[in-house]
Amino acid sequence: MDMDIAPLVDVVFLLLLFFMLTSHLIQEPAIRIKLPESKTAETKTEAIKTVLITKNGEIYFMNKGVDLRNLQITIKEGLIDTEKDFLRIKADRDVSVGLLVKVIDEVRYSGIKNFSIVTERRWQEASEKGGVTH
């Protein structure tokens, strides 16, 4: 008694194709920033609390505008467990390093132990990899 697995393989490929196509349709918040590039950046898909810094120096926590003086308090109010919760910082590539460091200090003062600075993955040149650039 042989079992034909061709239909099963077709369904698996269709599901794979569906998830590959829809994963690129997930959009970030409407605040526009240009992320710096990094060759070692990893893609994260979890819903993580985010601090955004625009190139004009505006700071947002979870899409709500906040000034630097109130950032620490706002983060404490927005997170349940500062020891375990994760926060990501997205800064426009044109933001001054000084402002970024001040934001990182406020994040640390709020008690956050786990945070990262988000970068955009830079595709290597075709000559470096011998492949196609994206």
d(CA 45, CA 134): 21
pLDDT at 5: 87
pLDDT at 65: 92
Give the pLDDT means over successive 10-residue stretches in the chain (134 positions): 84 86 58 73 66 91 89 86 81 89 90 82 54 47
**Which domains does the chain show, CATH number per domain?**
37-121 (3.30.420)
**Cα–Cα–Cα angle for 34, 116, 58, rounded to 5 degrees:** 45
Q: Nearest Cα to 87, choosing from 55, 62, 65, 70?
A: 62
CB 112 within 8 A of CB 87: yes
**Cα–Cα–Cα angle for 71, 42, 19, rounded to 5 degrees:** 110
Q: Which residue has the tokens 């998830």?
A: 19
Give the Å distances, CA to CA, from 74 to 33, 36, 64, 66, 121.
Answer: 21, 25, 10, 8, 29
- Strands 114-117, 86-91: pairing is parallel
pLDDT at 134: 45
